[in-house]
Structure 1
Amino acid sequence: MSESKTSKSEEQQNIDEELKNSKSSELTNAKSHGEILKQQIIDGQETYDKSALSILLSSLTAGLEIGFSYLLICALYFFLHGKVEEDTILKSLAIVYPVGFIMIILGQSILFTEQTSLLTLPVLNKKRSFGSLLNLWGLVILGNLIGGYLIAFVLVWIGPRMRIFDLETVEKIAVHVIDYNNIVIFTSAILAGWLMGLLSWLIAASKSTFSRIVLIFIITAVLAFTGLHHSIVGNVEVFAGWISSPAITFVDYLYFILLALLGNAIGGAIFVALLKYRAFVYDVKG
């Protein structure tokens, strides 16, 4: 048992040393796998070091800001309704969907799906405990959801009064989001979490604000164009439908948000954080 613990300790020391010494490629000036991973672990640990109130307020801000994506989704849907086919409208929403994500990520508010893999890496690197990860996830999710509820109430009230969109638009978007069986929503959310975790990794690899904006736009536009389920945007979409239309029940909302959150977490933590981290570890061992 003692030898096993010593071996694991030495292995962790080797990993930490390799991360410490990771540098950009001299030929391409591109960040190496180890350098990106090191930055992600450092960024993740900085979030752990923040106070609970700071995390809650930052995640609340992200929940509010994602509402601007929803505002534009509703506005564009309402504007195009009756002018083009329904399928074309739904696909065209990918043009405006990324706006809220750009605001959140460049503004460094804390969004659950973008932070899922980031916050998992310090745990894999044995710098934080699994319990602390769950506590942090809980705070971020709580803030994101409350922010989403607040902005949904505001937009459902102001939208029809300013003729930006009507309540029929709100209902149609909500029904479109939940119009699948639970397995489909869950699997879709895993893929969405995977893409958002990958986005976090790619942003860490980029070196300019412009390239980050392009990456955010590409990844989130893919989510919108394919209809993959993002828990925090979906929270606003389905909650707004529930408070404004009898076509959406509380049970509909509850099933959706639980499946979407769980799927996003699995996609971000397993398919990005775990695989990226293990790939580096095996390289160190090799």
Structure 2
Amino acid sequence: MSRKINEQDVIDTYEHQEGSTNRQKSQEEILVEQLCEGMEAYKQQNSKVFIGSVAAGLEIGFSYLLIVVLYTFLEDKFSAHTIPYLVAFAYPVGFIMVVLGRSILFTEQTSLLALPVLHGRRSVLQLLRLWGLVIAGNLIGGFFIALIICWVGFATGIISQYSIGEIAGHVTEAELYVIFGSAVLAGWLMALLSWLVTSSNETISRIFVIYMITAIVGFAGFHHSIVGNIEVLAGLLFTDDILFSTYVGFQTTALIGNAFGGVVFVALLKYRAFTANY
């Protein structure tokens, strides 16, 4: 017979595990910590959440910076089919900055923010409002970093318009239903990233986990709504290859897919796996 996790038990367990950093955390402890972090996020002022989200949108842009610089450097040295796999090595850099810096990234927060709803402490409407705030901050931050990167990149000659167009075209070339499926996998992995980072006790271990998970996303070409926002937006603003309708279709599909993957395959499954024992 299943039961609700008592809120005081959650808090007590969370406080107890704070002093237990030298041992492997159990699944229950990871769930408790994730749940506590999720509930804490709802208590923060909207301005703090928004600023943290804008920061994440800006910082994740450093992944795009390295990708487009490498693409420009390699564009006349390797085939267009090979380059995406080579530049994927740079994909995790922005994620390491965001996750270790504790900025608020939508795809990392989908599962985290959904847990209090599954626990019955927050409503779906509250979840959607908080998601909306985080998404808005991420997209606004992405817009500004795309402008800065392309302006500086053109002025210094480290990026080319061709590379911007090629990256944007590569991200949006699939049909929307394929982008949705790819985004589900990316959202699944990113929510799992939050879970695995919580299970890690040391910074080096966390960096390895972040690199491993986001490298899978990069090498497989899965669609990440926040990095993808910068990639496609740069193509829209600085080339003739991307239409506004293409950008909107991609962004909407990727956001929904990322949210679905994080909530269903991580938050729901992890929560139900625990409560099924009671």
Partner of 1:219: 213
Q: Mind listing any 5+ residue stretches in structure 1 that lack a counterpart?
A: 1-6
Partners of 1:117 and 1:141 in 2: CA distance: 14
Q: State yes or no: 1:148 paired with 2:119.
A: no
Aligned-partner residue type, residue 280 of structure 1: F
Partner of 2:4: 12
Q: How does 1:1-286 map to 2 (within 5 A)?
A: 11-12=3-4, 17=9, 29-283=23-277, 285=278
Shift of 1:280: 0.2
CA contact (8 A) 1:194 1:271 kept: yes
CA contact (8 A) 2:13 2:32 kept: no
Partners of 2:177 and 2:8 in 1: CA distance: 39
Shift of 1:74: 0.2
Shift of 1:88: 2.1
Shift of 1:85: 2.3
Partners of 1:18 and 1:226 in 2: CA distance: 37
Percent identity of the aligned residues? 51
Partners of 1:270 and 1:60 in 2: CA distance: 26
Partners of 1:174 and 1:204 in 2: CA distance: 33
Question: Any idea what SS the aligned residue of 1:87 has?
Answer: coil
Shift of 1:155: 1.3
Partners of 2:52 and 2:131 in 1: CA distance: 13
- CA-based RMSD: 1.9
Deviates more, 1:155-164 or 1:208-217: 155-164
Q: TM-score when scaled to structure 2? A: 0.94
Shift of 1:45: 1.2
Shift of 1:16: 6.7
- Pair 159,21 (structure 1): closer, same or farther in 2 beyond 3 Å: closer
C-alpha offsets along residues 170-202 of structure 1, whole Å, 9 cap, x if unaligned?
Answer: 001000000000100000000000000100000
Aligned residues: 274
Shift of 1:21: 5.2
Aligned-partner residue type, residue 203 of structure 1: V
C-alpha offsets along residues 3-62 of structure 1, whole Å, 9 cap, x if unaligned?
Answer: xxxx98xx22569748855888x9x93111100000001111111111000100000000
C-alpha offsets along residues 92-136 of structure 1, whole Å, 9 cap, x if unaligned?
Answer: 122111110000000000000001100111111112111111110
Aligned-partner residue type, residue 12 of structure 1: K
C-alpha offsets along residues 183-241 of structure 1, whole Å, 9 cap, x if unaligned?
Answer: 00000000000000100000000000000000000110110100000000000000000
- Pair 182,13 (structure 1): closer, same or farther in 2 beyond 3 Å: closer
Partners of 2:23 and 2:213 in 1: CA distance: 24
Q: TM-score when scaled to structure 1? A: 0.91
- Higher alpha-carbon Rg: 1
CA contact (8 A) 1:19 1:35 kept: no
- Pair 280,16 (structure 1): closer, same or farther in 2 beyond 3 Å: farther
Partner of 1:4: none
Shift of 1:145: 0.3
Aligned-partner residue type, residue 42 of structure 1: C
Partners of 1:213 and 1:237 in 2: CA distance: 24
Question: Any idea what SS the aligned residue of 2:4 has?
Answer: helix
